[in-house]
């Protein structure tokens, strides 16, 4: 059975938590697409060759969430051939037998417009900044400014801007518990898959 769940949304909205929970509930494979560029950057060498040769094992490295991996990701993400190779990787992952959940920023609009279920997970900038601040600490006002700046950059970029797919279910987690948000997402999948 091929069944794709596309979950998009801005940083710290809860899409990663929801995606992992939905994948676990249904026994689907899960792909955090944000790790792809980090994995390519962390592999080093020629970034195009690294992207073209990327495997799922490359996504299990324990250094992908480091600052260095993030900086490497931002350098390779601007290379069109890297992006093209990673689009192929994501589309193949999405249409695998057994079902898949992909979370990112352009899954429902660019990567998998044919996904059976599309969710757009969001929350107010203030709520997302508070969540991020609880994770990383620092000055909460500065974290809010960074969240707002990233939202603007993601929404205004020329290639694959952050926006919900026309047929995506909007899931605003501002006032929801994690359990409530996961339950809503599972119900959305059940409504289509049965």
**Interval 100-141: pLDDT, tens:** 999 998 999 999 999 999 999 999 999 999 998 888 788 899
Please state the residue numbers annotated as binding site for ATP: 9-17
The architecture in CATH of the region 4-193 reads 3-Layer(aba) Sandwich (3.40)
Please state the residue numbers annotated as binding site: 9-17
What is the structure's pLDDT at 135? Answer: 82
Q: Residue 73: pLDDT band by 50, 70, 90 thresholds?
A: confident
Residues 12-49 as b or e (16 or more Cβ within 10 Å = b):
bbbbbbbbebbbeebebebbbbbbbbbbbbbbeeebbe
Domain boundaries, the chain: 4-193
| 103 vs 112: CA distance, rounded Å | 11
pTM: predicted TM-score of the whole model, two decimal places: 0.89
What is the structure's pLDDT at 56? Answer: 92
Share of the chain above pLDDT 70, in %: 99
pLDDT digits (tens, 9 = 90+) for 37-62: 999 999 989 999 999 999 999 999 99
Q: Which residue has the higher pLDDT, 70 or 85?
A: 85
């Amino acid at each position: 059975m091929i069944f794709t769940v596309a979950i998009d949304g801005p940083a710290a909205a809860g899409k990663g938590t929801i995606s992992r929970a939905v994948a676990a509930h249904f026994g689907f494979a899960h792909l955090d697409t944000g790790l792809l560029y980090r994995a390519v950057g962390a592999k080093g060498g020629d970034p195009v060759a690294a992207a073209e040769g990327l495997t799922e094992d490359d996504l299990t490295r324990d250094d992908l969430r480091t600052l260095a991996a993030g900086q490497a990701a931002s350098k390779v993400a601007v290379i069109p051939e890297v992006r093209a190779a990673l689009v192929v990787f994501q589309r193949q992952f999405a249409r695998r037998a057994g079902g898949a959940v992909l979370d990112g920023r352009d899954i429902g609009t660019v990567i998998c417009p044919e996904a059976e279920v599309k969710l757009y997970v969001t929350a107010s900038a203030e709520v997302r900044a508070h969540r991020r601040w609880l994770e990383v600490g620092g000055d909460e006002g500065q974290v809010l400014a960074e969240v707002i700046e990233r939202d603007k950059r993601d929404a205004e970029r020329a290639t694959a801007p952050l926006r919900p797919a026309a047929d995506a279910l909007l899931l605003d987690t501002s006032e929801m518990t994690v359990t409530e948000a996961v339950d809503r997402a599972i119900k959305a999948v059940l409504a289509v898959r049965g």
